[in-house]
């Protein structure tokens, strides 16, 4: 279910987010919350009225509205430089740049400030469908680098048949062309590491004789070439990866295109502020920055909530989790009750039943809710000490809470509250 939600539902919803996320209204966001709520209800089957935000904190699912903004931002950052420079002089392309421009005004762009890419021209999504169509074919990867003064651009492109599967333009300053040629190959190898499985045979074409010779040899010069060779060696345990030299400007389309893109990159690099030699952030790093920005956004929302007090006591920090949904349903249900406080505790059931007294049945000293029982109730000191010891030895926070709620005293307490409800 978690898989279905993240792999099928979420991408479908966030598709085209770059276009519509900046215009997201409160109503749309509520609708997204509802969608995620349905998925979470089917997973945890909690008591009715359990708040959505509490379930999100428990399962470790970022709110869908925030996720959609993040997806939109990532698309924007991939196209940012393209918007600024790519259409210059080609005429009015307002219809193509308009919706991207909105991001400038609506989001805190400082997270993309270190983003030095020239942008992707036509990255196609490497879908399962296109993969099965191209099965048995060879992936051709073209790399090239170009230097103008101290400005360097380098580029790689992965293609199968006529499809550009993915590509990347990168900028740098004050590095040698040779180094840039190697960097382009290394970036392509890193991409292959994650995306290469769908095609068996891969050939990297470079017009740098020295880079090709180096990588086909056995001695390395420096850290970069060692790292690149290690990467290649690792890849070759799983895939066929060839590195071939092609003559520059000999009419090979892929190489000509890579050359063009690298040259464009070196022009772009002149706009970079840094005078010092520097390594550009990879798209992966940018994505990571974007992600942590939106996690912070989730945290801000979490901190500013007025309700969900008990959930916020259990989870002062929001966190993402993939494994929570793999817990047995029964444990998840118990956990949802404990963490959100929406369970058989007097503090909660007094909303349903006319119970005047919501004092803790064990100690009578405070309100009876799950956080009191877990953290404070003096009558559970022994149980608490045992569970804390287990947690020191590796039992997770969540398993600890379940253990606490299953102690004899608390099973009895919940049963007698259930009886109260029935009357
Ligand atoms: Zn108590």
294-304 burial by CB neighbour count: b if 16+ within 10 A, else e?
bbebbeeebee
How far does the centroid of ligand 1 lie from the alpha carbon of residue 296, in Å? 34
Ramachandran category for residue 124: left, alpha or beta (phi over 0 → left; psi -120 to 50 → alpha): beta
* Spatial CA neighbour of 100 closest among 67, 122, 76: 76
22 with 104, same domain: the answer is: yes
Distance CA 17, CA 67 (A): 10
CA torsion sign for 175, 116, 15, 53 is positive
How far does the centroid of ligand 1 lie from the alpha carbon of residue 382, in Å? 13
| First CA to last CA distance, the chain | 37
Are 123 and 158 a contacting pair, CB within 8 Å? no
264 with 194, same domain: the answer is: yes
Condensed to tens digits (0 to 9), the pLDDT of residues 193-214 reads 877 777 778 999 999 999 999 9
149 with 207, same domain: the answer is: yes
For residue 143, is it within any domain?
A: yes
How far does the centroid of ligand 1 lie from the alpha carbon of residue 372, in Å? 6
Distance CA 283, CA 112 (A): 11
Are 69 and 18 a contacting pair, CB within 8 Å? no
Q: Assign 93 a pLDDT band (cuts: 50, 70, 90).
A: very low
How far does the centroid of ligand 1 lie from the alpha carbon of residue 357, in Å? 13
Looking at the 3D structure of the chain, how many domains does it have? 3
Condensed to tens digits (0 to 9), the pLDDT of residues 355-396 reads 678 899 999 989 999 999 999 999 999 999 999 999 999 999
How far does the centroid of ligand 1 lie from the alpha carbon of residue 325, in Å? 30
How far does the centroid of ligand 1 lie from the alpha carbon of residue 361, in Å? 6
Ramachandran category for residue 49: left, alpha or beta (phi over 0 → left; psi -120 to 50 → alpha): left
- How high is the mean pLDDT of the chain? 78
Distance CA 133, CA 340 (A): 48
Condensed to tens digits (0 to 9), the pLDDT of residues 250-297 reads 877 788 888 888 988 888 877 766 543 344 456 666 777 778 888 988
How far does the centroid of ligand 1 lie from the alpha carbon of residue 276, in Å? 63
How far does the centroid of ligand 1 lie from the alpha carbon of residue 298, in Å? 32
140 with 244, same domain: the answer is: yes
How far does the centroid of ligand 1 lie from the alpha carbon of residue 348, in Å? 15
Name which of 31-35, 48-52, 84-88 the model is least confident about: 84-88
Are 199 and 138 a contacting pair, CB within 8 Å? yes
**Residue 138's domain spans which residues?**
123-269
How far does the centroid of ligand 1 lie from the alpha carbon of residue 318, in Å? 27
For residue 331, is it within any domain?
A: no
Average pLDDT over residues 314-338: 91
DSSP assignment, residue 34?
H
For residue 316, is it within any domain?
A: no
146 with 262, same domain: the answer is: yes
Distance CA 361, CA 346 (A): 9
115 with 129, same domain: the answer is: no
Distance CA 278, CA 174 (A): 8
- H or E, element range at 393: none
């Amino acid at each position: 279910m978690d898989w279905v939600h993240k792999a099928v539902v979420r991408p479908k919803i966030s598709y085209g987010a770059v276009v519509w996320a900046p215009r997201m209204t409160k109503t749309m966001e509520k609708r997204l919350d509802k969608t995620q709520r349905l998925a979470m209800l089917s997973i945890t089957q909690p008591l009715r009225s359990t708040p959505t935000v509490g379930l999100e904190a428990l399962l470790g699912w970022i709110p869908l509205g925030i996720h959609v903004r993040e997806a939109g931002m990532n698309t924007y950052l991939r196209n940012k430089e393209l918007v600024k420079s790519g259409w210059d002089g080609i005429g009015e392309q307002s219809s193509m740049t308009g919706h991207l421009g909105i991001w400038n005004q609506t989001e805190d762009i400082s997270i993309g400030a270190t983003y030095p890419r020239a942008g992707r021209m036509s990255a196609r999504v490497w879908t399962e469908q296109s993969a099965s169509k191209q099965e048995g074919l060879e992936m051709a990867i073209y790399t090239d680098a170009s230097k103008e003064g101290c400005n360097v651009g380098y580029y790689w492109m992965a293609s199968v048949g006529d499809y550009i599967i993915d590509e990347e333009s990168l900028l740098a300053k004050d590095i040698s062309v040779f180094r840039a040629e190697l960097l382009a190959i290394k970036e392509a190898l890193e991409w292959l590491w994650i995306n290469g499985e769908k095609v068996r045979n891969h050939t990297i074409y470079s017009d740098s004789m020295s880079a090709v010779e180096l990588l086909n040899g056995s001695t390395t010069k420096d850290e970069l070439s060692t790292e690149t060779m290690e990467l290649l060696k690792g890849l070759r345990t799983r895939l066929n990866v060839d590195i071939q030299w092609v003559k520059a400007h000999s009419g090979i389309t892929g190489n000509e295109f890579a050359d063009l893109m690298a040259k464009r990159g070196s022009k772009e690099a002149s706009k970079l502020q840094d005078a010092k030699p520097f390594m550009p952030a990879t798209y992966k790093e940018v994505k990571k920055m974007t992600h942590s920005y939106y996690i912070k956004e989730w945290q801000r929302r979490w901190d500013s909530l007025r309700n969900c007090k008990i959930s916020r006591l259990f989870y002062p920090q929001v966190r993402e989790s993939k494994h929570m949904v793999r817990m047995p349903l029964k444990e998840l249900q118990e956990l949802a009750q404990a963490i959100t406080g929406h369970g058989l505790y007097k503090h909660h059931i007094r909303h349903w039943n006319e119970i005047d007294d919501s004092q803790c049945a064990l100690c009578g000293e405070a309100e009876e809710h799950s956080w009191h029982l877990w953290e404070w109730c003096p009558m559970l000191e022994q149980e608490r000490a045992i569970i804390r010891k287990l947690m020191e030895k590796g039992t997770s926070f969540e398993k600890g809470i379940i253990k606490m709620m299953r102690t004899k005293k608390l099973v009895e307490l919940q049963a007698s509250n259930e009886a109260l409800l029935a009357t």
